[in-house]
A and B are shown apart, each in its own frame.
Chain A
Amino acid sequence: KQEVTQIPAALSVPEGENLVLNCSFTDSAIYNLQWFRQDPGKGLTSLLLIQSSQREQTSGRLNASLDKSSGRSTLYIAASQPGDSATYLCAVRPINAGNMLTFGGGTRLMVKP
Chain B
Amino acid sequence: NAGVTQTPKFQVLKTGQSMTLQCAQDMNHNSMYWYRQDPGMGLRLIYYSASEGTTDKGEVPNGYNVSRLNKREFSLRLESAAPSQTSVYFCASSAGRNYNSPLHFGNGTRLTVT
Contact = CB atoms under 8 A, between A and B. Distances in A.
Chain B's interface size range is 20 to 34
Interface string B87-114: 0001010000001101111111000000
A23 to B, nearest CB: 12
B74 interface: no
Given A99-B31, A99-B48, A100-B59, A32 B108 contact: no
B93 to A, nearest CB: 11
A43 B106 CA distance: 5
Chain A, interface size category, equals: 20 to 34
A32 B90 contact: no
A18 interface: no
B56 interface: yes
Contact of B99 (A36, A42, A98): A98
B42 A105 contact: yes
A32 B31 CA distance: 17
Interface in B50-91: 50, 56, 58-59, 90
B99 A32 contact: yes
Contacts of A99: 31, 33, 45, 48, 50, 56, 58
A109 interface: no
Interface secondary structure of A, over-half rule: strand
B43 interface: yes
Interface string A77-113: 0000000000001010100001111011110000000
Contact of A34 (B56, B59, B103): B103
A28 interface: no
A43 B103 contact: no
B104 to A, nearest CB: 6
Contacts of A98: 99
B108 A43 contact: yes
Interface of A: 31-32, 34, 36, 41-46, 49, 51, 89, 91, 93, 98-101, 103-106
Given A98-B99, A99-B50, 7 more contacts: A31-B100, A36-B105, A44-B105, A51-B100, A99-B56, A103-B42, A106-B42
Q: Which are the 3 A-B pairs with shortest beta-carbon distances? A: A43-B105, A31-B99, A44-B105
